Structure 1
Amino acid sequence: MESVMRSIGQLARESGLTVSALRFYDGAGVFGPAWVDPQTGYRWYAPAQLADARLLCRLRRIGLPLAEIRLLLAAPSDAQSAHQVLDTHLRRLEDGLADARRELSQVRTLIDQREHSMTTINSADSADSADSAAPLGGARLTVAPADLVAALAAVRFAVSAEPVAPMLGGILFDLDGELLRLVATDRYRLAVGSAPVRAAARTEFNVLVPAALADRFGALAAQADAAGSGELTLTVEGASVAAEAGGRRVAGERLDLDFPDYRSLTRLRPTHRVELPASTLRRAVADGATRPYTPTRTPEAPAQGAGTRAAEVPVTVLAVSRDGVLRVIETEPGTAPDPAETAAAADGDLLVAVNQEFLLEALAVGTPDQLVLELGGAVSPLAIRAAGQETENFSMLMPIRLG
């Protein structure tokens, strides 16, 4: 046996993987030995496994997620699905590089501001320089008032009211090419609104606007739209952010806080995609049965101390069949396992549980006729989009673990 098979150490040397990595992948059910000696516990690998081990080493180097490595190794060598997994990961890497370039640009700006500030403080005529110099970090863009109103309406419901997380009490205004993305999250849901804008080349505009100030921007935009005042101008200079339209100006201070990276969530690839009338889903969720759920607050967001129980919330359980039909689980749960959920799971349906109130709020935004729901699993975010506008305004709900 030993003369034909490879020991774990020998396979590690020939494949480029470490022994600890091979043990990890075995425990994770990704890549295991052909035979384990029942007396010694030694792992032995077949000669044919060397090729997969070398492939696994390469996949590890490019940072392919564990679940996708498992799918790729299980796929036939000529399977189109394997190439789709790699194409998806390549897009993810390219998006990550674009994100890194944006962050580096922001870092360079902060370094320049820091150096300018230190030079000004050490200068003999610093007072005169401070009076005459323009504020640092200036940026300007223009947007149609109606587009800004719609983008704000798409995200306002997801702003957090938790005082312990002040960075979530604002709306991120993030310029991405010719599109201004507005983002809000309270950790349980995330909403993204988009508006086309005009800006000078290489403009950097990434500003966290307090919710109250964003509301004033929205009111100004609504007035400008009603009066037909044309474009609205957004500017940021130093700590100040302002909106101007129709001869009126609203300004305030930005939040100097780090907003969570939302882009990784928006790039999740769904496994199920369902299109249905919005009115049908709203009625089914509003009238359907719910199960009670009492969340445990985390130490980062305590109510009366870490680990305390928050108020009970109603939970809607959605089931998606293999042929893409979505329904609300109707049976009220009791102390025993819910029969409807048990039957759905036995049929191979995907079950996703979400806060009913949050789901109804998300369904009310924009009131589209047709919706597209994207699901990636029982514990992956549920994305809700208007059909035909999949890159514009949308929201995501964090699921609740069943059981």
Structure 2
Amino acid sequence: MDDTDALMSIGTFARRVGLAPSALRFYDDCDVLRPAYVDGVTGYRYYAHGQQARAVLVRRLREAGMPLTDASVVLDGTREEARAILEGHARRARETAASAQSAIEEILRDLSGERRATVRLGGAELASAVRQVAPAVASAPVREEFPVLGCVLIELERQEVRLVATDRYRLAVRAMRPSSFEGDPCRVLVSVMELKDIASWAMRFADISIEVERGRVRLHGDGAERDLPAVDETFPDYRMILDSLPAARHRIIADRTALRAAIADAGHDGPLTLHTDEQQLILAFRGPVTSRLSAVCTGASVRIAFDPGVLLPALDAGVGPDVLLEISSPAQPVVVRSADQGSFTTLVMPVRDTSTDA
């Protein structure tokens, strides 16, 4: 009998426990849920029936928004340690619930094209997307010199609606799946200030439709409607930027809230240096170490510097408990995104590491 006869393939196991195969691979990489057997020739992963309870618990913890570092304690710690982690997480969830409601107050942007299209989205989803991409728009002085950097690009396609913004140091892309689509793929540019105003309006509706025709943008929600003026500018070719990124050589997964707090609490203007040391992320400003955080680090040790004023908004705009940094080199743009949710991606330019200068 083959060794795998009593085991389940990753696809079968994924359906049994309610996790995607990609999530199972991710949890394998992070030592959270190792397969019972890996075929040395094909690399296929196989799971035992006895692993189902752990997998379901992993899924439930992640659905509750728990960071992997805390989830590992619940999975492998003592009962007392698990209870303390769970109670602490529940308390933080209650404290942030109110701010999460008010945090949804931004909306739409960026379309250009003469074709006609109508898509339908959730009002809250659109507002959340605006909240995520808007921080990547350039500051007012830069917008005066380069008006296009004060705009958000809205791309409408049958499978996805995308919001894109950049200030040349950051690039934010949020993808949404429409509930319906009619017409032709098109794109339009809109002012970020106009889009933020529309976002507050769209929050009142469970669903809204976005209609684009000859560069005109109109939103409809439950009998009400709003016009969103289009901007006649040429947006940078963000797809070329994404396609030209080298392959990531280093990956860092950290508690997003803890990393954000460590940077903000340090109270320095920067530059901020991040350094990986085994499964630790070390933060330093101009040399002295300010914080050490638990992290999942893959690849060789890496040292990279950022402007905190650029990195912090990228962390704020993320979703989920964990943040993933994908680094090709200390001089190339760094991909900042949720560790297990791919609908929102930010590119952040690093800066020169001056901490080792004589």
Same fold per superposition (TM over 0.5): yes
Q: Distance in 2 between matches of 1:237 and 1:180?
A: 16
Deviation at 1:187, TM superposition (A): 0.7
Matched, 1:326 2:281: yes
From 240, 249, 260, the equivalent of 1:282 is 260
Matched, 1:266 2:242: yes
Matched, 1:385 2:337: yes
- Which residue is equivalent to 1:159? 137
Matched, 1:217 2:198: yes
Deviation at 1:396, TM superposition (A): 1.7
What letter is aligned with 1:400?
V
Matched, 1:401 2:357: no
Q: For the Cα contact (< 8 Å) 2:155–2:186, is it kept in 1?
A: yes
SS of residue paired to 2:148: helix
Q: Distance in 1 between matches of 2:265 and 2:241?
A: 30
Q: For the Cα contact (< 8 Å) 2:115–2:184, is it kept in 1?
A: no
Higher-strand-fraction structure:
2
SS of residue paired to 1:257: coil
- Which residue is equivalent to 2:48? none
Q: For the Cα contact (< 8 Å) 1:220–1:245, is it kept in 2?
A: no
- Give structure 1 stretches of 5+ with no counterpart: 1-108, 111-135, 226-230, 291-312, 339-347
Q: For the Cα contact (< 8 Å) 1:352–1:378, is it kept in 2?
A: yes
From 171, 175, 186, the equivalent of 1:190 is 171
Q: For the Cα contact (< 8 Å) 1:142–1:234, is it kept in 2?
A: yes
From 115, 119, 124, the equivalent of 1:137 is 115
1:4-403 equivalent positions in 2, closer than 5 A: 137-160=115-138, 161=140, 162=142, 163-200=144-181, 203-225=184-206, 231-267=207-243, 268=245, 269-288=247-266, 290=268, 314-321=270-277, 323=278, 325-329=280-284, 332=287, 349-366=301-318, 368-389=320-341, 391-403=342-354
SS of residue paired to 2:271: strand
Q: For the Cα contact (< 8 Å) 2:314–2:336, is it kept in 1?
A: yes
Closer/same/farther in 2, CA of residues 137 and 330 from structure 1, 3 Å limit: closer
Q: For the Cα contact (< 8 Å) 1:272–1:374, is it kept in 2?
A: yes
What letter is aligned with 2:337?
R
Q: For the Cα contact (< 8 Å) 2:188–2:215, is it kept in 1?
A: no
Deviation at 1:167, TM superposition (A): 0.9
Deviation at 1:379, TM superposition (A): 0.9
Closer/same/farther in 2, CA of residues 176 and 329 from structure 1, 3 Å limit: farther
Q: Distance in 1 between matches of 2:267 and 2:275?
A: 13
Q: Distance in 2 between matches of 1:157 and 1:205?
A: 24
Q: Distance in 1 between matches of 2:266 and 2:157?
A: 40
Instruction: Report the aligned-residue RMSD.
Output: 2.5
Q: Distance in 1 between matches of 2:189 and 2:232?
A: 7
Closer/same/farther in 2, CA of residues 289 and 327 from structure 1, 3 Å limit: farther
Structure of higher RCO (CA pairs closer than 8 Å, 6+ residues apart): 2
Deviation at 1:286, TM superposition (A): 2.1
Cα offsets for 1:319-363 (capped at 9, x unmatched) = 134x46422125547xxxx9xxxxxxxxx7422211112212221
Cα offsets for 1:220-246 (capped at 9, x unmatched) = 221114xxxxx2111112131111112
SS of residue paired to 1:235: strand
Q: Distance in 1 between matches of 2:350 and 2:157?
A: 28
Closer/same/farther in 2, CA of residues 218 and 270 from structure 1, 3 Å limit: same
TM-score computed with the length of structure 1 as normaliser: 0.52
SS of residue paired to 2:320: coil
TM-score computed with the length of structure 2 as normaliser: 0.58
Deviation at 1:398, TM superposition (A): 0.9
- Give structure 2 stretches of 5+ with no counterpart: 1-111, 290-299
Q: Distance in 1 between matches of 2:331 and 2:286?
A: 21
Q: Distance in 2 between matches of 1:198 and 1:402?
A: 46
What letter is aligned with 1:233?
S
SS of residue paired to 2:185: coil
